[in-house]
Structure 1
Amino acid sequence: MNATFSNMTAAPEPEDYTGEDGLLYCGKCRKPKESYFPEGKTLFGRDRHPAECDCQRKIREERQAAEERRRHLDAVEELKRRGFPDQTMRGWTFENDNGQNPQTATARRYVEEWEREYAENLGCLFWGSVGTGKSYLAGCIANALMEKEIPVYMTNFAAILNDLAASFEGRNEYISRLCRYPLLIIDDFGMERGTEYGLEQVYNVIDSRYRSGKPLIVTTNLTLQELQHPKDTAHARIYDRLIEMCPPVRFTGGNFRKGKAQSKLERLKTLLAGGKENCL
């Protein structure tokens, strides 16, 4: 009874005052801290209940916003911990992008149109030469979606095949777990060993993802010609399913990895020659 009664009593501050209507007012914002029950009703013998003044409302909203920010940061941290097997991928963001990749705009649009992409099960097949930024932009998409609290898993078939071999009895559950992510990203497709067992498992994963009705993004160094004209039936059914799910997006331009390596070499030469430029 005492606790209930206390909750119905506005806590006065030294600067608060009683207005002409008999209610307690905030001495700072001049708004009431109490309100009368309607139609003369009472509760526990009282005719009024606490109300929020503007000061109290601001404090509450700021506290709730801070709590929401903490909750959001914790949620994103957990998504990235689970979604990236290699934690360096956390740095693959649009904010860190140098803007030189011609397909950056395509990757940004994918994030902007995510709800439609998800509803229509639209993925992408990023193909092109080594070092053209395919993996990086796929990681940018993953990071941007995780910042929106959308679960994404980015992996490769070498890791998937290792996991499947290590837990044969849980194979179906493992593949089902991959298919539960709203977006699955498979990096460096075609680099895994093409054994009969490996090809069968690759097909199982891609086909299961297809039947889940959820989008898939794949990066590959294979050419579109190689994907459209596979060397045998085992590869043909994998590539056919993949192209059906993921419209191809060609990555062109120079090799960013070689460019970065050359830049580092030039900085090192400058440093060793006694120049003023620091080695980053």
Structure 2
Amino acid sequence: MSDYDNAIFRLATAQEAEPEDYTGEDGLLYCGSCRQPKEAYFPEGKTFFGRDRHPKECDCQRKRREMLEASHREYKHREEVERLKRTGFTDPAMREWTFENDNGKCPQMHKAHAYVECWEEMKAGNIGYLLWGMVGTGKSYFAGCIANALMEKEVSVCMTNFALILNDLAASYKDRNEYIARLCSFPLLILDDFGMERGTEYGLEQVYNVVDSRYRSGKPLIVTTNLTLEELQNPEDTAHARIYDRLTEMCTPVRITGENFRKAKAREKMEHLKKLLNGKEICL
């Protein structure tokens, strides 16, 4: 729009003068609060329905408008983040797996921060993580932190596991290709608890189809597993070998060595129970 067209728009959407407003020596209306003009003259020779001036934002109006626009942007942002988390997580509890809620006991958590900070480079280079380590060391939480942080940046992420994927594929025989294509459409796919699914011939074939399709999509993949790196590098048969080869090519191994938080949680509960019982005779 030209300056003249903008001026016409402001004239059409003008608000009434406030009681404290006043007319300046130049004949224009001024804001009684910020003392800035709320009107401006049209370019020389131009008028609109006989008027030689049009409304103009004073500092007060500009600040109010900017606050409203910022509030609207934040509302739309929170709405989008909510949609991403609703569709991207298979378990609502994953929403709480955030950097803010981290207990600080995972020595490798800085790698999760780095992944989020360098997301554009990770995406461009098709770089993922293969998170491996003992049970209960926080591998899933590590991946969840990445997912939540990227969703806060309005990046679409899917965090699921093969047990759910295989169930979905079995229930939608005619739409398998469409289902796998949807998984591969997410900028980041996280496969949690890899290796825990049933090892049937059908199951392995579907696992390979998902992993291979993700490989060919050129998009990053993050996998968490209780398998050791040695097990992944020395598969038991050809069916596992072709899956593991794809994973190790796509994902950089990161060993998670945090304390077993499940055992730690159990100890905390036991200590709390002992305090509640306060020496009462009961077999624990």
What is the aligned partner in structure 1 of residue 87 from structure 2? 82
What is the aligned partner in structure 1 of residue 114 from structure 2? 109
Kindly report structure 1 stretches of 4+ aligned residues shifted beyond 6 Å.
Answer: 3-6
Does 2:182 correspond to 1:186? no
Deviation at 1:46, TM superposition (A): 1.1
Deviation at 1:254, TM superposition (A): 2.5
CA distance in 1, matches of 2:210, 2:144: 20
CA distance in 1, matches of 2:255, 2:238: 25
What is the aligned partner in structure 1 of residue 65 from structure 2? 60
Deviation at 1:5, TM superposition (A): 10
Does 2:84 correspond to 1:98? no
Cα 1:217–1:4 change in 2 (3 A) is closer
**What does the per-residue CA deviation read over 1:29-55, in whole Å, with 9 as the maximum and x for residues that have no partner?**
000111111123112211111100011
Task: Give the aligned residue type for 1:193.
Answer: R
Deviation at 1:253, TM superposition (A): 3.6
Cα 1:205–1:26 change in 2 (3 A) is same
Does 2:259 correspond to 1:250? no
Cα RMSD, aligned residues only = 1.7
CA contact (8 A) 1:185 1:217 kept: yes
SS in 2 for 1:38: coil
Identity %: 71
Alignment of 1:155-174 (within 5 A): 155-174=160-179
Q: What's the TM-score once normalised by structure 1's chain length?
A: 0.94
What is the aligned partner in structure 1 of residue 226 from structure 2? 221
Does 2:217 correspond to 1:212? yes
CA contact (8 A) 2:10 2:54 kept: no
SS in 2 for 1:40: coil
Runs of 5+ unmatched residues, structure 2: 1-7
CA contact (8 A) 1:152 1:182 kept: yes
Deviation at 1:231, TM superposition (A): 0.5
What is the aligned partner in structure 2 of residue 241 from structure 1? 246
Does 2:271 correspond to 1:266? yes
Runs of 5+ unmatched residues, structure 1: 276-280
SS in 2 for 1:268: helix
Cα 1:39–1:101 change in 2 (3 A) is same
What is the aligned partner in structure 2 of residue 145 from structure 1? 150
Does 2:135 correspond to 1:130? yes
The count of residues paired between Structure 1 and Structure 2 equals 273
